[in-house]
Chains A and B, each alone.
Chain A
């Protein structure tokens, strides 16, 4: 595979977020604008220098409104990535390609919503219009049977993972315990000061068996933005550049939207495998080069096959990797040091990229020693994306 030209030549130069809450008390657009302003402040860049925006197709705040409010005079690049939580690292990849190709100089990637006080994803899909598009019609295969929420879709994979690999609910619980332990020392986390035990996890009520409440991410109001530019321009800004060393999107055979129930096997995440292959091949890096990772954790079960797809352990071995303490601070691969989406906030993965940036900068509240390269992944079960960030 030929190298991705933007890899190593582009950087994240600023990160910014609102507070993470259950009721922001302001509009989603305001959250987006506040997050973007914070990222620009972090980088020390005037808003009028920005000429690109990249976000999710699910984002409700259109580029023109964000642009107006920020005082951006013109945009030469605006791009959106589909498939919900699969998008975050993809927005950075698009931004990196844009600045590397010269179609934009500075691109803000953003995601903001009132996902707790407004439209809750956990409420599920309940009504789909007749005369359906191909995308809407996909729900016909699951919704009439009561499989209505992301938790319910993931649960179907989790049962099979338990059946084939002997994974237990406690194994899923260990991911939640690690996330919450890391969140407990992160003042920005919703669950700051509130660690949990494996017993708490086991005793929490079922949401969709085999998933307990504490296997499920939070619902959050908030916004997160990232500023992407060329490495050369980034050097002139306030923060040390965090280099985009590798980035990829992935979609695999017989892909469905978090409901790829019809493939030969349900115990892998081949779309994440597509990302892993590209990133290791284009960067020359491998799992041994990664000191810490932000692994997408909307629901704990999918953390396990991600570790396997990236080669941190063999197929079916993630449960042993986790039980051995590898994902804790001081372990082989401290995971989700901000607390993840279970502990810090559910910002559709964008807050995880920010934590990757902090680990490279050396400013995480749970800083891992000697970080050269950080892996960040995006949503699982959906077409997805991933990043490796590193020091210059």
Chain B
């Protein structure tokens, strides 16, 4: 690389690198850490850990009072709606230079939060940013560009409370790797092209129920015996009067098969087909959705959802055979662990329960606003589309919150967060499901320090992968017993 570069015409890398090592002046949060923002954040992230919101539980906990969710660390000093790039901030200056050089698209790729301590309501946070690194020009899947790495230091008064390493990719739009030409076009996955169920008098009750999103189990009107598949006569009492009950929709995966070939229209291959055992006792074949092949385990808890596969009319034409809806099953979210796991109850290799997170526009837009991120592509579909995105997409702070919730729900309310590090991949768009999986990779029985790796995958691939570092109570004595 050449030497100095402040004069125009020097390579862009050099000019941006002049900024490396510089720090911004302190930026003070507009509001103190406060319970209202915490509560809104907990609402949208769906985090029910009471140490964030319930004063009496929080004061009886190891935290001794309400604390802010650690994943909110770099939310408090956000400028909110009226964002302007401060030219004295070296990151802003670097991004402006890259913008001017044609690297106009920005995507967050890494965020690594380290917590020295928890924040409490009433505390005023301020931060300073140091530009740490600007990469050479790289070819990435999204396009050619530069990775820009900054470190933020957060303080209350003179006390350092945490740091955030933040890396974005600035890239030239339209320079991403083209899809492989060898990729064969697959079958049309439109579910309306799936084989229609053959409906007759014996199974009509089931398909009528499906149309109303009721999963019906045939039941004898005389003796109550239930059957699947249905039959016209109760083999137990001989009655010909057969009715049905409506299933709760809760069940578990009894077995599964994953067709790869032959590939026919109506399906996306490989297809996840599950044999689902309902809690009422009968089984049925269905699809497992909202997760991927590697997530399937015999025995995993599932919950009912519906696919309106065959509409009653399409392209203005009415299908005289009527609409078809198909019961589908997605992994059920495990209940939040209300007792905090002790280090000696955790071992490397332990798996966290899989957790599906339905990606709604409400979650994406609400999450952005609750983390004071007003970038339009997170809440305004028209603007997102103008920017070349197919829809609004989730901001990194919402992702951080969901990762924290996922690990905390497993670890328990008094697990002490030390670090949360994530790497982002495929965007989270509305209508998809992000499925979280994770496992324990290390536990120190002496200190109670545990490391958990996790991953959130959506229909496009990995949205997030990362690491959580927590301190778990090392023994019975250090937690709970005092209460």
Contact = CB atoms under 8 A, between A and B. Distances in A.
A144 to B, nearest CB: 5
Given A156-B257, A209-B258, A132 B200 contact: yes
Interface in A329-346: none
A377 interface: no
Contacts of B283: 261-262
B474 interface: no
A159 B256 CA distance: 6
B21 interface: no
A145 B287 contact: yes
Contacts of A159: 255-257, 298
B273 interface: yes
Contact of A142 (B196, B255, B261, B285): B285
A117 interface: no
B271 to A, nearest CB: 4
A125 B195 CA distance: 9
A131 interface: yes
A156 B256 contact: yes
B199 interface: yes
B43 to A, nearest CB: 36
A364 interface: no
A156 B276 CA distance: 11
A144 B197 contact: yes
A206 B258 contact: yes
Interface string A93-123: 0000000000000000000000000000011
Nearest to A263: B283
Given A156-B255, A262-B229, A144 B298 contact: no
A130 B267 CA distance: 21
Given A124-B262, A145-B273, A209-B293, A163 B199 contact: no
Given A141-B285, A156-B275, A160-B298, A148 B198 contact: no
Contacts, number: 138
A266 B286 CA distance: 17
Interface in B133-173: none
Nearest to A139: B198
A200 interface: no
Interface string A138-157: 11111111111101110111
Contacts of B229: 138, 141, 256, 262
Nearest to B197: A140
Interface residues of B, number: 40
Nearest to B227: A262
Contacts of A152: 257, 259, 273
A144 B293 contact: no
Contacts of A132: 198-200
Nearest to B198: A132
Most buried by B among A136, A157, A158, A206: A206
A interface, over-half SS: mixed
B312 interface: no
A238 interface: no
A127 interface: yes
A135 to B, nearest CB: 9
B472 interface: no
Given A126-B264, A131-B200, A156-B273, A141 B287 contact: no
A148 B255 contact: no
Contacts of B267: 146
A237 interface: no
B260 interface: yes
A128 interface: yes
A205 interface: yes
A25 interface: no
B340 interface: no
A137 B194 contact: no
A208 interface: yes
Interface in B260-304: 260-262, 264, 266-267, 270-271, 273, 275, 282-287, 293, 298
A151 B283 CA distance: 20
Given A141-B284, A147-B285, A262-B228, A155 B258 contact: yes
Contacts of A209: 257-260, 270, 293
Contacts of A142: 285
A134 interface: yes
A370 interface: no
Most buried by A among B228, B258, B286: B258
Contact of B275 (A126, A127, A208, A261): A261
Contacts of B202: 134, 137
A207 interface: yes
A155 B287 CA distance: 15
Interface of A: 122-134, 136-149, 151-153, 155-160, 163, 205-210, 256, 259, 261-262, 266
Q: Enumerate the 4 nearest inter-chain pairs by beta-carbon distance, A residue then B residue, closest first.
A: A132-B198, A140-B197, A155-B257, A209-B258
Given A137-B202, A144-B197, A208-B260, 14 more contacts: A126-B195, A132-B198, A140-B207, A144-B309, A146-B194, A146-B267, A151-B259, A156-B273, A156-B285, A159-B255, A205-B260, A205-B261, A210-B257, A259-B285
26 contacts: A124-B262, A128-B196, A128-B197, A130-B199, A134-B200, A134-B202, A137-B200, A139-B195, A140-B197, A140-B199, A142-B285, A144-B324, A146-B259, A147-B259, A149-B259, A155-B257, A155-B258, A155-B259, A156-B255, A159-B298, A208-B260, A209-B258, A209-B259, A210-B257, A259-B285, A262-B228
